[in-house]
Structures are given as C-alpha cells and as structure tokens.
Structure 1
Amino acid sequence: MDQLQVAAGGPLYVKLKQAIEDAIKTEILKNGDALPAERDIAQSAGISRVTVRKAIDDLVQDGLLVRRRGSGTFVSKPVPRLQQPLSRLTSFSEDMRRRGMVAGSRWIDRKLYFPTAEETMMLGLSGGARVARLVRLRLADGMPIALERTSLPQDILDEPEAIVESLYETLEARGIRPVRANQRISAVTLADDESALLGVPPGSAALSVQRVAYLETGRVMEVSRALYRSDAYDLTAELSLQT
C-alpha cells in the first residue's frame, strides 16, 4: 500500500479516503480488487485502525467499496445502471442498441449436446433429439453485464456456431421469432467462477432471470437463465390500476 501514504495536515481519515479514491480512479485499485486488511493499511500509512475504519466506512457509504462478510473489503467502482422494462420481449442486442450502447459477447460454449432430463421436459423433446447450448458473457460497451445460458432444440438451431451476436436476429432471418415468454426473476449469490467472469467481488448479488420463450404455435422455442450484475442492471415494470 505504498500508494496510500497519507500526508500530514487535516483529518487523517479524509487524507486516506482521498488516497484510496485516487487509487481507484487511476485503476491502481481495480473493480473487484480486495483491499488489504485494516491493520495492514494502518501500519503502512502510520495511522490508527480507527482512522482507517472511518475512511473505509465513508467509502462504503459512497459506493466505492463493499464489505463481504467473511471475505473482506473490495473495490466496487460505480458502473452505469441499465434499466430493462419487463413488458417487452426483446433481445440483449436490441436493448443495448436502444440505449445507444454496443452489445458484445464473449463465448464460453456453443455446441450441440444430448439434453439433460430438465431440457427434455422443458423443450418437449423426443428420444434421440439434441439441444443447442449457448453459454456467453454479455457485454455493453465492453463491460460484462450478464452471464447467459440458453438451450434450444436442434431443429430450431442446428448450427450453434453460426450465432455471432444476436440469437434472435439470426433466428428471425430464418423466419423464427418468439411471440411471448414467461420470466421468473430472483435474487441469487454468484459462485466464485461467475463473479470472476462478471468482474465483481466474490459473493456478489445478482439478478437471476429464467426465461421460457414460445413460438406462435405454442411450442417452447428456448429456455434460458441469465445472471445480471445487480450493481448495473435494474428490471422495471409499469403497473396500472384496473377499475
């Protein structure tokens, strides 16, 4: 913590707070980095642990740091928040374009597999059928936003490798488009590997959005589960009072 030397004069906790803020702004401390223990900071800066705790408390309140019970204190650099209305059935790429952002994907997997029992039941598959599985990290202007896992019947998507960016746009070019979907939203805690992919501290909260999409015939076209960063994504709904 040589970068966090505290100058003399003025409240020491303010000096330390500013030093940590500067380290975050200049990316000496990056989003998701663990802060050293309070005793180590106190020893390095030559100040008391009470002073260190006061500075960290203020930074936690400001949203620049986050405490994880049993794990420590981590940098949580604020990111732009995105709002997703729940009343529209759209793709991630469409959502990002509507906001003037560039959608991207970092592919983890896209192949044909024999289905699990759950996939067989959810997709209504017959014996011997296979599924296309897509696993990707979704990006907005290069920033990881969501970890998405999608399964589709092989007769709907027989070449998963053909998907470059938007799944829905690729399928629509073939005359396939969902007309409705059911979504289930819940709060979850990310596993360590999921946190690493999304660039957030271990044990971070996320929004889990499970979607079942249907074709006009009523057939299930897709089942998916996306984990959205809770510090960057809000789901909104417009409600009206029926009279």
Structure 2
Amino acid sequence: MRDIAWTRSDEATPLYLQLAQSLRAHIDGGGIDPGSALPSERELSEMVGLSRVTVRKGIRQLIDEGVLVSRQGSGTFVARRIEASGAKLNSFTDDTRSRGQDPGVVWIYKSYALPTEEEAAAVGVAPNVRVARLGRVRLVGDEPLAIEHAVIPAIFMPDLDALGDSLYQALEAHGFRPTSGTQRVRASLATQTEAGILNVRHNSEVLRIERCTRIPDGRIVEFTRSVYRGDRYEFVTDLNVV
C-alpha cells in the first residue's frame, strides 16, 4: 500500500470526513487493491497524525458508504465491486461460486399459499392454483448483499423441505430449470427495513431487479423481485453492433 497523503483542507469540514475523503481518493487511485486489508487504526493514526477516535469515525464513514467492509476478528478491508452479467441467466449461487466465493442464505419465509391477483398474473396461473412463496437474504461469506422474494407455481416446486441454498438447483432436480427470461433493473433507495437487513444506511442506493423466467415449453417458472446493494453490485451487459 502506498502512503496516504493527507492534509487539512477545509476548517469547516470535520476531520473524520476529511480523512474519509482522502482514504476514498487513495483507494480509487489504486493505493489499496480491492479485497486488501486497511492498516490498523493505530497505524493509520500514526500515518496521518490524527487521533484514533477520529480515524475510527473516518473508517466508519467509509464502511457506511460501502467503500470498506469490516470482518469480525479479521480487520477492515477494501470492498470488492461485484460485476454480474445482465445478459446471462444464472443463479446467485452459481454466479457467486464462479467468482471463487461462498454463497449463503438466511430464510425469511418459505411456504405454500394461494396467489394474490398480481402473483397469479405474473406466473400465469389461475387464482385457485397454489404457489410457493420464498423470501430470503442472499449472502457472500457473512455479508448480506441482496433480498429476494420469489413466487413459483407449486407444480414446479413440490417439496419445499428439499429446497437448499439454490432455487435453480432445486428446480433442475425436478426437471424445471429455467432456460430463458426477462429481467428489469432500476435504481432506487433502501427502505428502513431493507437497510437494516442489508446493513446499509436508510435511503442508500440499491438496485431493484424484477425477473421472470421460463422453461423450454414457455411456461413461467419463477417471478422474483430482488433488492441488491448498489454500493457492491454492477450489472454489466456486452453490446454488439446488429
């Protein structure tokens, strides 16, 4: 890591915010690689000539912004930006493992019910046909990155007890893995509940994703609405001249 160049630039701005700004610029300039550990509070304090309380507040500011992540017992690290393909139909689990990371899940709910009018229209079933409702928090390591709410016609998901971390693996086991679909992504702000679950500030930037997928015969197998942390995710699509 290169030494952090820091000088007091604005008497009206609190020192911890000036430090946060300098650290952010240092990281953006390649001074610390994504995934690398930040120096300890003591080392940073000696490096920039500020108290450890001020350094701690500056680091906390960048953690709240998603620039840094804190890992219990390990230290503070520069957050990695995750690039996900916006043109490839893949599961969160498969996508995470392809990057050499460990996916995880915390279930919010998992049950069968009759669909609402909106849900019945979204998955193309009659109002008296049962659906599976799934709500979960998606993790990479121990870090919450997304909240997903899915609706699946029960015929495609006959055994909720057998559903593990990956919805697509469970669908594939029953012969119903989706092969096509439509996905919409829009920018939004985290609600208070979403912010608490994702460990970000209220009104932080998030990406809201609506996905509808189909099996080869054209039937809709999944309707999912997700909220992804905007400070950690980028959806990338390759463009070609037609």
- Between stretches 117-126 and 57-66, larger displacement belongs to 57-66
Q: State the 1:75 CA deviation.
A: 5.9
Asked if 1 retains the 8 angstrom alpha-carbon contact of 2:147 and 2:227, the reply is: yes
Q: Give a deviation string over 1:80-131, Cα, whole Å, max 9, x none.
A: 1111011211101100110000011001011111211100111111242111
Task: Work out whether 1:120 is the aligned partner of 2:117.
Answer: no
2: distance between equivalents of 1:83 and 1:12? 34
The root-mean-square deviation of aligned C-alpha atoms, in Å, is: 2.4
TM-score, normalized by length of structure 2?
0.73
Aligned to 2:14: 53
Q: Secondary structure at the match of 2:170?
A: helix
Q: State the one-letter code of the partner of 2:227.
A: L
Q: State the 1:240 CA deviation.
A: 1.2
Aligned to 1:26: none
1: distance between equivalents of 2:163 and 2:212? 19
Q: State the 1:157 CA deviation.
A: 1.1
Q: Give a deviation string over 1:18-44, Cα, whole Å, max 9, x none.
A: xxxxxxxxxxxxxxxxxxxxxxxxxxx
Asked if 1 retains the 8 angstrom alpha-carbon contact of 2:134 and 2:151, the reply is: yes
Q: State the 1:175 CA deviation.
A: 1.1
Asked if 1 retains the 8 angstrom alpha-carbon contact of 2:66 and 2:232, the reply is: no
2: distance between equivalents of 1:61 and 1:218? 53
Aligned to 1:241: 241
Q: State the one-letter code of the partner of 1:160.
A: L
Asked if 2 retains the 8 angstrom alpha-carbon contact of 1:60 and 1:66, the reply is: no
Map 1:158-237 → 2, pairs under 5 A: 158-237=158-237
Q: Secondary structure at the match of 1:106?
A: strand
Aligned to 1:104: 104
1: distance between equivalents of 2:165 and 2:21? 37
Q: State the 1:234 CA deviation.
A: 0.7
Q: State the 1:53 CA deviation.
A: 2.2
Asked if 1 retains the 8 angstrom alpha-carbon contact of 2:151 and 2:224, the reply is: yes
Q: State the 1:179 CA deviation.
A: 1.1
2: distance between equivalents of 1:60 and 1:213? 42
Q: State the one-letter code of the partner of 1:198.
A: L
1: distance between equivalents of 2:136 and 2:96? 16
Structure 2 CA distance for partners of 1:174 and 1:62, relative to 1, 3 Å: same
Asked if 2 retains the 8 angstrom alpha-carbon contact of 1:178 and 1:221, the reply is: yes
Q: Secondary structure at the match of 1:155?
A: helix
TM-score, normalized by length of structure 1?
0.72
Q: State the one-letter code of the partner of 2:20.
A: L
Greater C-alpha Rg:
1
Q: State the 1:57 CA deviation.
A: 3.9
Q: Secondary structure at the match of 1:231?
A: coil
Structure 2 CA distance for partners of 1:57 and 1:117, relative to 1, 3 Å: farther
- % same residue: 29
2: distance between equivalents of 1:87 and 1:177? 17
Asked if 2 retains the 8 angstrom alpha-carbon contact of 1:152 and 1:222, the reply is: yes
2: distance between equivalents of 1:241 and 1:50? 52
Q: State the one-letter code of the partner of 2:213.
A: A
Q: State the one-letter code of the partner of 1:235.
A: F
2: distance between equivalents of 1:238 and 1:76? 26
